[in-house]
Chains A and B, each alone.
Chain A
Amino acid sequence: MIIPRKKLNLWERLYLPAIIGGFKITLRHFFRKKVTMQYPEERWVVPDGYRGAPYLVEDQDKRIKCVSCQLCEFVCPPKAIRIVPPGPSGAPDVGNVEKAPREFEIDMLRCIFCGFCQEVCPEEAIFLMQDYSLTGTTRQEMIYNKEKLLALGGVHQDNIRKWKKKAEEAKAQKVPP
C-alpha cells in the first residue's frame, strides 16, 4: 500500500508554533516531581511478589531446607539448575531428613526468573527473592553455588516444620526417627 504524503498547510509550515508547543511541554515537566533515580546509588524498592533471582533458604535450625529432590532441576525451563545428590550415605547433620544436596548450582545467566522452581519445591526451600540486578565479570561468576545461594537466601521462618514434627512424633512412640 502506498500512503501519499500529506501536504503541510501554512500554519504547519510556519514551524515556530510547533517549537513553542514543544517547549511548553518541556517546561511543564521541569516543574513536576522527578521520577528518575540516581541508580545504582539509589535503588528501586520492588513490590511484594516480585520475581527476582531464586535463592536457597535455611530453616530456623540452620538446616538447608532443600532435600535434593531435583524437582526444580527437572522443571526449570532453561535448565539453569544443576544438583549433585548426596549419594548412598546421605547427608550428614540432617537427621531424619536423610538427604541434602551435595552441590547446588543455578546459572543466573540462564535463569529466566520464571518461578517454576519455587512453585514446584515440596520443601519450601527455594524462593525467588527481590534481586533483579545480578552482575559478574565472568560466566563462571554467574553460576551461583550452594554456599552463595544459601548466604543470599538467608533463613526462612518455616511454621510447618514437617521433619521436626515427624521426628518428635516418632520419638513419642519410642521409635528411632
Chain B
Amino acid sequence: MPNPSTGETQFISPSGMIKVKVDGKDLEAPRTMPDPISGKPLPTTMIQACALAHVDVPHYCYHPKLPVAGNCRMCLVEFATPALGPDRKPLMKPDGTPKVTRSPRPAIACATPISPGVEIYTNTPAVKQMREAVLEFLLINHPLDCPICDQAGECKLQEYSVDYGKSDSRFVEPKVHKPKRVDLGPRIVLDDERCILCTRCIRFTKDVVGDDALGIVSRGSYSTLTAYPGRTFDNNYTLNTVDICPVGALTSKDFRFQMRVWFLKETKNVCASCATGCNIIIGSREGKVYRFEPRENDAVNSNWMCDYGRLNYKWIGQADRLRQVQSPKSKVQSPKSNGQARNVQVTAERLLLSGQGSIWKSVIAEISTKLGQIPPGSAAIIASARQTNEELYLLSKLAKKLGALTDSVPRTGEGDKLLLNSDRNPNSLGARLTGIAADPMGSNLPKIADGIRSGKIKTLIVFGEDVTKHGISTELLAKLETLIVSGILPNETTRLAQYLLPGCAHAEKRGTFTNSKGRVQKFLKAVEPPGDARPEWEFLHELVFAVAGQDGFATIEGLFNQMAQDVPAFKGLTWAGLGDTGITVPV
C-alpha cells in the first residue's frame, strides 16, 4: 500500500496503478501480475513494465510463462528512483518534475520489481556495453554451428548478436568442448556446446509439466545440461522445450535436418488430435507440411502443445491419400475393362475433368438426384466429429431434409491434466451442437446397423469414418442400395463406396472446431489438397443446395455466419469476430 508519509502517493494513480517511466515514456503499470504457474499475484517486474510500454528488452532466461530465474543477465537495464528530501518527500526540479537518483548499478529487468516513480532506461550507452559484454561471454565457448544448426533463422543468440553484439572475438584459447548429439529422449537431441544454460527447459519440465527430469551438472564453463541419471526425458510435452530453447541446443528429432526454417510458410491452424484444440502454426513449404508448433492462446493452450498432437501430421502428405472422385459410372469405365485405347481415353477424360472441374459437378448432380428421390427416413448419416462445424451443420441440414438418423463415432484415449484430452475427436462438441451426434455419441450406431439389417435404411452417407470398425460390417454395407463416402485415407468403407468424395485434412481447408470447453476456433489453409480432393464444406454446400433447395453460402465466411444464425449455440458469432484465438460459447 502506498505510504503517504514517504510521498509515494504522487506516483500512484487513483486506480492503484504504479506510475513509472520507460525510456522517458510515462506508463501506468499494475502493482502485481499473476504468476504464470500458480496464478498468485507477484510484484510487477521491470521487464513486464517494459513489455506494457512496448519496449523490447533482450532476454534469454526470462519467459513470460515460466518462473523467473535471472541467470543470463541479458536483460540488464539502468534505472533511477525518485530522490527524497529529509522529510521523505520527493524532491522536485525547478520545472516541477520529480528529481531522480540514478542507481549506480544496473538491474536485471526480469527479476527486479518496479517501485512507484522508478525510471527505466533500456537504451543508454552503459546498457549497450553490458549487452555486448554478456554476448561476448555467451559466445566464448559457443561452437558457432549455425550452418548445421536447426535453430539458425530463429535463434536468439544469432538475433541478439546481430542487434547488440560485436562482430569480432577477442578469445583465442581453445573452446571448451561438451557432448554433442546427445540422445536426451525419444524425441529430443541435445547439443550441449550450444546450450547457454538459461534453464528454461529445466523450469518448463519441472514447473509446467511436473516431470523434474532435467538439470545442470558440473560448474563454470563446464556446466552441462543433462537428464537425471536413470531418467529419460520422455514426457508428452518434451518438444515444447525445443520451442523455448533460445538456441539450437535442444532440437526435434522429427524436424532435424528436414528444412531450414526460413523457407517455412506459417499458417494459423488448430490441432485436430484431441478435444482441447491447441492453437498451432503449421510450417509448410511447397505443399508439404514440415512441422506443427504451438501458437499462444491463453484461453486454451497457453504457449504449449503435446508431442502426440505435434507429431500427428504425417498422414496429411501420405502417398495413399484418396485423390479421385468415384461414382458407379466411373467405376464401370475403369481402365482395366477395355484395354489400352480405353485407358488413354479415360486418362484424357480425367485430365479434362480433374481438379475443380466438372467431375465434381456431374457426381454431385447424380448424388443429389438420387437423394431427391428416396423416401424420407430411408437414409442415415454417420459423420465424424473430426469434420468442421460448418460441414456438420450442412450435414444436419441434409439429415433434416432426408429424415435421416445421424451419429458420430466416439474416439477416446488416455488424457492428462495439462492439455491432452481423453476425447480424441477435435469437434465432439460441434457434432453435438449441430445435432449430428447422438447423446451419448455413438448410441445411434447400433440403431443404424439394425435399420440396414431390416432393410429400412437403404442409403448411408459416411463422412470421415471407417464404419466397418464401428459395428456396421462389410456384409451390412453390401446390403445398401447407395453408399456415399467422403474420406481422406483409404479404408474398408471407402473401398466399398459407390460414391467416393475425397476430402481434406484440417491443414488443407478453412473451418472451425468447437473444443471441449465450447471455444469455437477457426483454422486456415496451409497446403493444397492432392488430386481431386476438395474441402468437404464446398461440395456439401452444393449438395445441400441441390437436395434441400436452401441456399447455403459459397464462401466459408458466409457459411459460418449462416450457421451462427441457425444453430442456437453459435448465436451472435461471426467468422471475422472469431479472430485468431476464437470465442467461447456457453454450453
Query: In the complex, what's the smallest C-beta–C-beta distance from A1 to chain B, in angstroms?
Result: 54
Q: B97 contacts the other chain (Cβ, under 8 Å)?
A: no
CA distance A70 to B143 in the complex (A): 19
Q: Please, which residue of chain A has its CB at the minimum distance from the CB of B174?
A: A169
Contacts known (A69-B152, A169-B175); A177 close to B180, Cβ less than 8 A: yes
CB pair B258–A88 under 8 Å, yes or no, is: yes
* Closest CB in chain A relative to B319 CB, distance in Å: 17
> Which residues on the B side are within 8 Å of A175 (C-beta)?
177-179
Interface size band for B: 20 to 34
Cβ–Cβ contact B180 & A67, under 8 A:
no
B176 at the binding interface (Cβ < 8 Å): yes
Interface: B146 (CB within 8 A): yes
Q: Is A154 an interface residue (CB 8 A)?
A: no
Within 8 A of B (CB), among A82-114: 85-88, 90, 96-99
Q: Does the CB pair B175–A69 fall under 8 Å?
A: no
Q: CB distance A69 to B258 under 8 Å?
A: no
Instruction: Give the number of A-B contacts (CB < 8 Å).
Output: 59
Contact B257 A97 (CB under 8 A): no
- Chain B, 348-387, contact with A by CB distance < 8 Å: what is the 0/1 string? 0000000000000000000000000000000000000000
Within 8 A of A (CB), among B128-185: 143, 146-148, 152, 174-181
- State whether B180 touches A70 (Cβ < 8 A): no
Q: Counting CB contacts under 8 A, is B256 at the interface?
A: yes
Q: Which residues of B contact A88 (CB under 8 A)?
A: 253-254, 256-258
Would you give the 0/1 interface string for A142-177, flagging 1 where the beta carbon is closer than 8 Å to chain B?
000000000000000000000000100110110111
Beta-carbon contact of B260 and A123 below 8 Å: no
Q: Which of B175-208 contact A (CB under 8 A)?
A: 175-181
Which residues of chain B come closer than 8 Å to A90, judged between CB atoms?
Answer: 256-257
Are the C-beta atoms of A96 and B253 separated by less than 8 Å? no
Distance from A123 Cβ to chain B, minimum over Cβ atoms (Å): 6
Q: A88-B253, A88-B254, A123-B147 are in contact. Are A69 and B260 (CB under 8 A)?
A: yes
Distance (Å) between the CB of B182 and the closest chain A CB?
A: 10
Q: Is the pair A98, B148 in contact by a Cβ cutoff of 8 Å?
A: yes
Q: How far is the CB of A124 from chain B (nearest CB, A)?
A: 11
- Given A88-B253, A97-B148, A70 contacting B179 (CB threshold 8 A): no
B263, A169: Cβ atoms closer than 8 Å: no
Nearest-Cβ distance from residue B124 to partner chain A, whole angstroms:
34
Decide: A67 and B147 in contact? CB cutoff 8 A. yes
Question: In the assembled complex, which residues on chain A have CB atoms less than 8 Å from the CB atom of B179?
Answer: 175-176
Docked pose: A167 CA to B356 CA in angstroms: 56
Q: Mark B253-275, 1 if CB is under 8 A from A, else 0.
A: 11011111011000000000000
A123 neighbours in B (Cβ, 8 Å): 147
B147, B174, B178, B253 — most chain A CB neighbours (10 Å): B147
CB-CB under 8 A from B178, the residues of chain A are 175
Q: List residues of chain B with CB within 8 A of the CB of A73.
A: 263
**CB of A74 closer than 8 Å to a CB of B:** yes
Q: Are A122 and B146 in contact (CB under 8 A)?
A: yes
Smallest Cβ-Cβ distance to B143: which chain A residue: A166
Among B143, B174, B256, B262, contact of A74 (Cβ-Cβ < 8 Å): B262
Q: Which residues of A contact B146 (CB under 8 A)?
A: 69, 122
Give chain B residues whose Cβ lies under 8 Å from the Cβ of A170.
177
With a CB–CB cut-off of 8 A, which chain A residues contact B263? 70, 73-74
Task: Give, as a whole number of angstroms, the nearest-CB distance from B183 to chain A.
Answer: 12
Q: A69 touches which one: B147, B174, B181, B254 (CB < 8 A)?
A: B147
Given contacts A74-B263, A122-B146, contact A96 B257 (CB under 8 A): no
Contact B148 A67 (CB under 8 A): yes
Given A87-B258, A166-B143, the answer on whether A69 and B177 have CB atoms closer than 8 Å is no
Question: What residues of chain A lie closer than 8 Å to B256, measured between beta carbons?
Answer: 87-88, 90
**Residues from chain A with Cβ under 8 Å of B181 in the complex:** 98
CA–CA, A68 to B143, complex, Å?
18
CA distance A1 to B111 in the complex (A): 78
A69: chain B residues within 8 A (beta carbon) = 146-148, 152, 260
> Per-residue CB proximity of B483-517 to A under 8 Å, as 1/0?
00000000000000000000000000000000000
Complex: A159 Cα to B476 Cα, angstroms: 74
Please determine whether A74 and B260 come into contact, CB atoms closer than 8 angstroms.
yes
Closest-by-CB residue of A relative to B181 is A98
Residues of B within 8 A of A70 (CB): 259-260, 263
Bound-state CA distance A73–B147 (Å) is 13
State which of B176, B177, B254, B257 has its C-beta within 8 Å of the C-beta of A99. B257
Are B258 and A169 neighbours in the complex by a CB distance under 8 Å? no
Cβ of A176: which chain B residues have Cβ within 8 Å of it? Answer: 179-180
Q: A67, A87, A122, A169: which contacts B177 (Cβ < 8 A)?
A: A169
Chain B residues with CB under 8 Å of A173's CB are 174, 176-177
Question: Which A residues have a C-beta under 8 Å from some C-beta of B?
Answer: 67-71, 73-74, 85-88, 90, 96-99, 122-123, 166, 169-170, 172-173, 175-177
- Which positions in B face A, CB cutoff 8 Å? 143, 146-148, 152, 174-181, 253-254, 256-260, 262-263
- Interchain residue pairs with CB less than 8 A apart (30): A67-B147, A67-B148, A69-B147, A70-B259, A70-B260, A71-B147, A73-B263, A74-B260, A85-B260, A87-B257, A87-B258, A88-B258, A90-B256, A96-B180, A98-B148, A98-B181, A98-B257, A99-B147, A99-B148, A99-B257, A122-B146, A122-B147, A123-B147, A166-B177, A169-B174, A169-B175, A170-B177, A173-B174, A175-B177, A177-B180
| A-B pairs with lowest CB-CB distance, top 9 | A170-B177, A69-B147, A175-B177, A88-B256, A70-B260, A99-B148, A122-B147, A173-B177, A67-B147
Q: A70-B260, A86-B257 are in contact. List 17 more A-B contacts (CB 8 A).
A: A69-B146, A69-B148, A69-B152, A69-B260, A74-B262, A87-B256, A88-B257, A90-B257, A98-B257, A99-B148, A99-B257, A169-B175, A170-B177, A173-B174, A173-B176, A175-B177, A175-B178
